[in-house]
């Protein structure tokens, strides 16, 4: 939702240089204000809630009165936004999973899940893992981390999927082909990522994205697997995604 590193930079003196213009500040401020009711539910200290609530009102007024091309107004808006956000960061650090999840940046979803996973019931584990995995933005996370999470021996793994996804997976043939855009080294080591797709065209798109991002050759991997080897099927992102761990790593990372 918001990037924590950006907020750390707010403490530096030259904060005017952080953003290209007023538009970015307004977008961030509006996003924060539109979610304030949700954030405030997680603040149990009424005195603190009142204090930050006043800052939110001030932010609203500044947002309404900010004029294009008036740097000192932009700076005031940014400073108030920073104060509100840093307070929310403190709420995140000192709250449970639900509160922290509301405020956390999408690049930190899996890290947040790992922090709290031992507190979850089996049902919460699988539902939260699915949600956080789907919401996670691109970030270099070791494949082994995903192996451990998805190969957990907890009960009720089917709760990774909604009813339609589970029905779809169960209706697939006993054997089917999956595809993945990835590096050539993955094929040699069998250390693939967990994300595959039933659609070769989608894999080819990821092949192109990864080639441009990593600036090295990428290929489309193709495997025939048994339906029982598929850990889950997700289609919330319309990617016909199959979660799969190669047998070479299943025993090692099951827990």
Mean per-residue pLDDT over the chain, rounded: 78
Is 39 or 233 the better-scoring residue by pLDDT? 233
Q: What is the pLDDT of residue 16?
A: 37
Is 197 or 103 the better-scoring residue by pLDDT? 197
Q: How many CA atoms lie within 13 A of 215 on its CB side?
A: 0
Mean pLDDT throughout 116-134? 95
Decide if pLDDT at 11 tops 60.
no
Q: What is the pLDDT of residue 147?
A: 95
Residue of 98, 231, 246, 229 lying closest to 174 (CA atoms): 229
Whats the size of the chain, residue-wise? 255
Please, what sign has the CA dihedral across residues 48, 51, 52, 57?
positive
Residues 64 and 203: their CA atoms lie apart, in Å, by 45
Which pair of tokens denotes residue 5?
A: 């590193």
Whether 172 contacts 244, CB under 8 Å: no
Mean pLDDT throughout 242-253? 88
Mean pLDDT throughout 127-135? 94
Of the ranges 30-39, 84-93, 108-117, the best mean pLDDT one: 108-117
Whether 112 contacts 99, CB under 8 Å: no
Decide if pLDDT at 203 tops 90.
yes
Model confidence pLDDT, tens digit, residues 137-180: 877 789 999 999 999 999 999 999 999 999 999 999 999 999 99
> pLDDT band at residue 129, thresholds of 50, 70 and 90?
very high
Q: What's the CA dihedral at 190, 192, 198, 199 to 10 degrees?
A: -110
Residues 4 and 139: their CA atoms lie apart, in Å, by 14
Which pair of tokens denotes residue 53?
A: 């609530």
Enumerate long-range contacts of 39-47, CB under 8 Å, 24 or more apart. 39/88, 39/91, 39/102, 39/103, 42/91, 42/95, 42/98, 42/99, 42/102, 43/91
Q: How many CA atoms lie within 13 A of 73 on its CB side?
A: 14
- Find residue 242's DSSP bridge partners: 196, 233
In the block, tokens 């005195």 appear at: 47
Residues 191 and 160: their CA atoms lie apart, in Å, by 23
Q: What is the pLDDT of residue 253?
A: 78
Give residue limits of the domains in the chain: 4-103, 109-255
Q: What is the pLDDT of residue 26?
A: 58
């Amino acid at each position: 939702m918001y990037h924590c590193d950006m907020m750390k930079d707010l403490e530096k003196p030259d904060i005017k240089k952080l953003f290209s213009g007023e538009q970015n500040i307004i977008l961030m401020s509006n996003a924060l204000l539109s979610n304030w009711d949700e954030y405030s539910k997680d603040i149990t200290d009424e005195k603190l809630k009142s204090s930050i609530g006043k800052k939110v009102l001030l932010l609203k007024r500044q947002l309404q009165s900010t004029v294009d091309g008036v740097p000192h107004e932009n700076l005031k808006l940014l400073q108030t936004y920073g104060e509100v956000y840093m307070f929310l960061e403190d709420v995140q650090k000192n709250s449970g999973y639900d509160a922290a999840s509301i405020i956390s940046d999408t690049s930190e979803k899996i890290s947040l899940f790992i922090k709290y996973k031992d507190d979850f019931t089996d049902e919460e584990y699988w539902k939260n893992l699915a949600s956080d995995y789907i919401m996670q933005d691109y970030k270099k996370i070791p494949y082994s981390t995903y192996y451990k999470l998805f190969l957990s021996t907890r009960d009720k793994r089917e709760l990774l999927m909604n009813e339609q996804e589970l029905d779809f997976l169960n209706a697939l043939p006993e054997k089917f082909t999956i595809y993945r855009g990835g590096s050539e080294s993955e094929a040699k080591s069998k250390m693939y990522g967990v994300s595959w797709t039933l659609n070769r065209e989608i894999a080819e798109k990821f092949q192109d994205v990864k080639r441009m991002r990593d600036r090295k050759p990428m290929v489309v991997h193709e495997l025939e697997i048994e339906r029982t080897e598929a850990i889950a099927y997700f289609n919330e992102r319309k990617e016909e995604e199959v979660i799969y761990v190669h047998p070479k790593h299943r025993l090692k990372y099951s827990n």
